[in-house]
Amino acid sequence: MLEFRKDYFADERRDDLDVIGKGVQRQDMLGHVTGTTTFFDDHKMAGMGHLKVLRSPHHHARIRHIDVSQAERSPGVRRVIRGADVPRNLNTLLGLIGFGKDDEPSLATTKVRYRGEPIVAVVADSERLAHEALARVRVDYDPLPAVFDVEEALKPGAPTVNDVYPGNAFEYHDRFDHQRVRFGDVEAGFRSADHVLEQRYQMSPIEQAPTETNGSIAAPETNGRFVVYTPTQGLFFSLDTCAKILDVESNALHFVGGTAGGGFGGKVDSLTEPLAILGAMLTGRPVRYVLGREEEMQFGGPRSGERIVIKDGLMRDGRIVARKVTVWFDSGAYTRLTSYGAVKCAAHVPGPYTIPAVHGDFYCVFTNRTPATAMRGFGVTGVDFALECQMDKLAALAGMDPMEFRILNAYRDGDMKAHRREAKNTALVECVQVAAEKARWPIREEFRRASSRTGGGGERARIPPTPKDTSPPKRTAGGSTYTPSVAPPPASSWDRPAASPPATPFQERFAMPPPPPAPMPRPASSQPPAPPPPEPADRREPPPPAAPGPGTTRFSSVFGTRRR
Amino acid sequence: MKTPVQFRLNDQPVAVFVDGGDNLLTALRDGVGDVTPKFGCGQGACGACTVIVEGEPRLACITLAEACEGARVETLAGLRRGPDLHPLQSAFMEHFAAQCGFCTPGMIMAAKALLDRNPRPSREEVVEAIAGNICRCTGYEPIIEAILAAAASARRY
Amino acid sequence: MSRHRGRGMASINYPIGMNLGGDPSQALVHSNPSGKFTVALSSIDLGQGMKQVTRQICAETLGIPIEDVFVDTADSDTGPHCMGSFASRGTHRAGNAVLAAAREARGVLLEAAAEELEVDPGDLETDGRGTIRVRGAPGKSITVKEAAQAGQFKQGRTIAGRGIFLVPLSPVDPETGEMSPATCYAHAAMVAEVEVDDETGVVTVVRLDSAYELGRALNPRMVEQQLVGGAWMGVSHALYETPEPYYPDPKAGGRDFVEYLMPGPGDIAPHDIAVLERPAPDGPYGGKGPGEMCANPVIPAVANAIFDAVGVRMDTLPITPEKVLRALKAQGGARPQHRAGR
Ligand code: FES
Ligand code: FES
């Protein structure tokens, strides 16, 4: 079922360590099989209140009036919580690293922007009593036109989803409604190509669906602090998010977690912690807020839907000479983490291949659906689907075997990537070779002999001349945002930018070498003595402290100094 | 209005007060304090709450607590005898059949219900026995292997 | 009407750690009075094995038995800051922090031992079984327990260490996208074999063959867990899952576990995996992190296999039977390609 190919890269590895590389038993396994692993909801407390929220039945509506008077008189109700009770009822998760503007309320007050958005919370003596009270809340809505398609949302005249971003797109670098990648001249590449193929792909939203739903239990602790039992995927990330929303110092909160019943990205957003703590603050008792499965599936953020258009220029011999990629991420009604996923996608394009001209536009678009967020591989999984389907089509177009086509175009050590960093420690060629071998998928000798460690660099290490993009930057209205480009440059040696571009046209310089004749690494026995294994910490240069950018700074226990 | 319910939990008599309509999962977790059955959906769709009632696998979240009056109820908390693990527990460990561990209590109880009535199940019978249990982490293969290995192990419990 | 088999492949890479860096993790390692060590983290174990992988890194670095290390991930009061468990950052970031902390603790442990043995700390080595020995002097040794006790009760030393790992935040050029997104990458190639029923549109994954390169596999059994479970999730993403099957039309989606489809234990295909290890120069013992990427190659490999089997391109996920049937109808029936790997 699973085999180790120790013959590959044996000279870069030492396989004689004591416990590293050994399949020893997990520390948590005995707890799992005996049921003694403690999850957040296994903490039981006397006098616990149960919190439930009323959610919008509309995709988009103005809230005219909220009447909670009957709910407040409902049996077993300890407290009804509305938007006005939340100390800072507007937040964006990555505000903690100064990325993006506060755009999402904990409880909606004037407008709802997706079906399922929380409006009113009730703390009652049982979940059932809380539900009964919520049924007595009266909300008057004026339904508004909604938009669900990312390209529709960007058209002039589309309904504005998120007032903080009136153009329905996240704002990058204070001036663009998308993140750009510009590397070489794609238009020249298309002109010179033997084939040009443009295709559209679509990935629907996907749920993280951990078997344990989101939830938390908050309780007053000694010295005015609150303890919070939580399955969050980022203990301090969640703690600081709560401190900000509740306007308390971070040391007023004591988070206990570290063990979650699955996450897959679905427990990054602090969906329940702020209201559970607020409930405990307002009632003085422990408060438990656990999502039911339908809430988790419908209102916990999924991975965003992604629409992807890829245009490639292909030579008859199988080389890809230009790749243009446009991706629209459907962020739903608020930003959460999708803005970041789009930049991760920008860094990933054109996939693990060396292509001399790459052009990318990456949009984070707001629509009237549940805000999207992180999910296992987000920013990459969707575009990988598109890129690899495209690669299959290109191989057919070139009349090549799909495996050999991958190896021909694979990035290798020393190549320049589209984000202008040198490829290192690559192993795509070897993975394709081994997968072919396992599947008994014949590939020709020259491709079996290719290596990630040879054939790269040289001409492939250059940054091609890149024409300036003169298309007017489309900016979304609104105030200024943090611009990552003003952060201090990294000093890490492994990511040094390459030499500046030479003046010759790229087609002449970027001649794809034939698959190199270098032999594949053989088992350790036939190798020269292995060099000592890498010693990570010793080799690292100590990173310089992050210098604060312009603007005032404020200390954050999650991220240290941050700009405001 | 609270109603008293008495049953035998892992061979011990227990009594608990429940609200009308409360399910067995709530009675066990909040009433008795046995938190080994987990809440994964509350709608009978994930199996995280699987317990054994009168020898049959039951989804505690959709089993009325009052209907268990006088019944024999088994949970993962009662599986281990002293320091000795049940063969299913050992096999789950040996096969690395848990990652987050949240589905594990329900998986093991579903498997125990199978092995109690069919000590030598086929792979298909194992698959059928856990078909109502969702695991999001493991891809099921190690779980199926663990249950088959437990059945094959000479050690009877 | 019949069933058609086809094969498809895909190859991918995946960045390790939070995009652009700027995501530190910290660790504290300390010994109790009898030479048993605790690693205090605020990193999260959500099933991926954070506790065990950092435990192994700590034990290896200290040079003591794995049983003598316990990892506590529970508490913001005692565990120092970590950005969290996402972006395949656990092994790389938290692992490096634990490595640094364990190195520092090892330094103190050896100093304490050296003082007892009246030798230079540089002459000491650990045997991984609980003993500290003088190199080249077989008879001269002290147990970790004795050294820890002497350190704490005679010499007044804390046998402890602190560690942090930070990849500094990279800027992003607004015009070109120039940036340093990650310091290392994992790789994979996947072959999927499927069977497509041209009457029902149902696609069955028959088998998977894969090669994953993920840096040094710090614990092969846990790597296997991730790869087997992750590939299952890839099949699920390719063929089953979404809350919005008619996206972007928001109507008619799976609302809960009754309606949201995933492959069950009866729907799994045999999966043959090869693991390649090219150590990451800046990873703890060369480890990268297999967590997120394992589903990614499955999805396109399945889509490409469907094309090989029946000749339709499925460019919209998930590939439901309805979509396959509509595509077959538009094409006028199945057109097996039998192109891949023959
Ligand atoms: S909680 Fe009972 S079946 Fe899911
Ligand atoms: S081990 Fe996580 S759900 Fe099964």
The answer to whether A490 contacts C167, with C-beta atoms less than 8 Å apart, is yes
CA of B138 to the centre of ligand 1 (A): 18
CB atoms within 10 A of CB A532: 7
Nearest CA in chain B to C228: B139
Q: How confident is the model at residue B156, as a pLDDT?
A: 53
Considering just the CA atoms, what is the radius of gyration of chain B in Å?
A: 15
| Residue (of A414, A361, A416) closest to A383 by Cα position | A361
A411 in Cβ contact with A353 (< 8 Å): yes
Q: How far apart are CA C194 and CA C5, in angstroms?
A: 6
Q: Is C91 on the interface with A (CB under 8 A)?
A: no
Q: How confident is the model at residue C342, as a pLDDT?
A: 58
Closest residue by Cα to atom 3, ligand 2, is B135
The model's confidence at residue C86, banded by pLDDT at 50, 70 and 90, is confident
Nearest CA in chain B to C264: B131
Calculate ∠ Cα A455-A457-A461, nearest 5°. 145
| Residue (of A290, A289, A281) closest to A226 by Cα position | A281
CB atoms within 10 A of CB A197: 16
Q: Which long-range contacts (CB under 8 A, 24 or more apart) does A511-516 make?
A: A511/A459, A512/A317, A512/A319, A512/A408, A513/A455, A513/A458, A513/A460, A514/A446, A515/A407, A515/A408, A515/A446, A515/A447, A515/A449, A515/A450, A515/A455, A516/A449, A516/A450, A516/A451, A516/A454, A516/A455
Which residues are CB-contacts of A223 (< 8 A; sequence separation ≥ 6)? none
- CATH code assigned to C3-15+185-331: 3.30.365.10
Cα A161 to chain centroid, rounded? 22
Mind listing the pLDDT tens digit for each residue in B99-112?
A: 999 999 999 999 99
Mind listing the pLDDT tens digit for each residue in B63-100?
A: 999 999 999 999 999 999 888 999 999 999 999 999 99
The CATH class that applies to domain C25-165 reads alpha beta
The answer to whether A210 contacts B100, with C-beta atoms less than 8 Å apart, is yes
- Report the nearest atom of ligand 1 relative to the CA of C257: 4
The answer to whether B108 contacts A262, with C-beta atoms less than 8 Å apart, is no
Which residues are CB-contacts of A360 (< 8 A; sequence separation ≥ 6)? A179, A180, A181, A182, A324, A325, A326, A327, A346, A349, A350, A418, C177
Closest residue by Cα to atom 4, ligand 2, is B135
Q: How far apart are CA A555 and CA B8, in angstroms?
A: 56
Q: Provide, as residue numbers in chain B, all residues whose Cβ is less than 8 Å from the Cβ of C46.
A: 100
CA of A20 to the centre of ligand 2 (A): 25
Q: Which of C221, C228, C233, C241 to mutate to test the interface with B (most CBs of B within 10 A)?
A: C228
C75 in Cβ contact with A255 (< 8 Å): yes
Enumerate the domain spans of chain B: 2-77, 87-152
Q: Where are the alpha helices (DSSP H) in B16-103?
A: 24-26, 87-94
The answer to whether A35 contacts B76, with C-beta atoms less than 8 Å apart, is yes
A78 in Cβ contact with A139 (< 8 Å): no
Closest ligand to B108 CA?
A: 2
Q: How far apart are CA A287 and CA A276, in angstroms?
A: 6
- Nearest CA-CA distance, residue B1 and chain A, Å: 13
Enumerate the domain spans of chain A: 42-144+209-299, 179-206+302-461
Q: How far apart are CA C75 and CA A98, in angstroms?
A: 26
- B87-94 and B104-117 helices, crossing angle to 10°: 130
Answer yes or no: CATH 1.10.150.120 is held by domain B87-152: yes
Q: How far apart are CA A256 and CA A278, in angstroms?
A: 17
- A402-409 and A428-438 helices, crossing angle to 10°: 160
| Residue (of C254, C288, C308, C234) closest to A380 by Cα position | C234
- CATH code assigned to A179-206+302-461: 3.30.365.10
The model's confidence at residue C74, banded by pLDDT at 50, 70 and 90, is confident
The answer to whether B131 contacts C264, with C-beta atoms less than 8 Å apart, is yes
The answer to whether A293 contacts B42, with C-beta atoms less than 8 Å apart, is yes
**Per-state percent for chain B, helix, strand, coil, to nearest 5:** 40, 20, 40
Nearest CA in chain B to C255: B41
CA of A46 to the centre of ligand 1 (A): 25
Q: Provide, as residue numbers in chain C, all residues whose Cβ is less than 8 Å from the Cβ of A559.
A: 22
The answer to whether B98 contacts A290, with C-beta atoms less than 8 Å apart, is no
Q: How far apart are CA B46 and CA B55, in angstroms?
A: 20
The answer to whether A293 contacts B103, with C-beta atoms less than 8 Å apart, is no
CA of A547 to the centre of ligand 1 (A): 50
- Nearest CA-CA distance, residue A303 and chain B, Å: 16
Minimal Cβ distance to C245: which of A204, A207, A440: A204
Q: How confident is the model at residue A562, as a pLDDT?
A: 36
Per the document, the length of chain B is 157
CA of B45 to the centre of ligand 1 (A): 6
pTM, entire model: 0.91
Mind listing the pLDDT tens digit for each residue in C96-118?
A: 999 999 999 999 999 999 999 99
Pocket test for ligand 2, best of B39, B99, B140 (most atoms within 8 A of CB): B99
Chain position carrying tokens 């949970």: B75
Tens place of pLDDT per residue across chain A (564 aa): 899 999 999 999 988 899 999 999 999 999 999 999 999 999 999 999 999 999 999 999 999 999 999 999 999 999 999 999 999 999 999 999 889 999 999 999 999 999 999 999 999 999 999 999 999 999 999 999 999 999 999 999 999 999 999 999 999 999 999 999 999 999 999 999 999 999 999 999 999 999 999 999 999 999 999 999 999 999 999 999 999 999 999 999 999 999 999 999 999 999 999 999 999 999 999 999 999 999 998 889 999 999 999 999 999 999 999 999 999 999 999 999 999 999 999 999 999 999 999 999 999 999 999 999 999 999 999 999 999 999 999 999 999 999 999 999 999 999 999 999 999 999 999 999 999 999 999 999 999 999 999 999 999 999 999 998 887 666 544 433 333 333 333 333 333 344 433 333 333 333 344 444 444 333 333 344 444 444 433 333 334 434 333 333 333 434 333 332
The model's confidence at residue C253, banded by pLDDT at 50, 70 and 90, is confident
Size of interface A-B (CB pairs under 8 A): 91
Enumerate the domain spans of chain C: 3-15+185-331, 25-165
Closest ligand to B132 CA?
A: 1
C336 in Cβ contact with C311 (< 8 Å): yes
Q: How confident is the model at residue C302, as a pLDDT?
A: 98
Q: Is A435 on the interface with C (CB under 8 A)?
A: yes
Q: How far apart are CA A53 and CA A156, in angstroms?
A: 35
Query: Do the interacting molecules here have an ipTM over 0.95?
Result: yes
Q: Which CATH number fits domain B2-77: 3.10.20.30, 3.40.605.10, 1.25.40.10, 3.40.50.300?
A: 3.10.20.30
- The residues in A 6-45 lying below 8 A from C, measured between CB atoms, are 6, 8-9, 12-13, 17-28
3-state secondary structure of C194: strand
Pocket test for ligand 2, best of B38, B39, B50, B103 (most atoms within 8 A of CB): B103
- CATH code assigned to A42-144+209-299: 3.90.1170.50
Q: How far apart are CA C22 and CA C165, in angstroms?
A: 10
The answer to whether A28 contacts B101, with C-beta atoms less than 8 Å apart, is yes
* Alpha carbons within 13 A on the beta-carbon side of B50: 26
- B104-117 and B141-152 helices, crossing angle to 10°: 40
- When pLDDT is averaged across residues C241-245 and rounded to a whole number, the result is 92
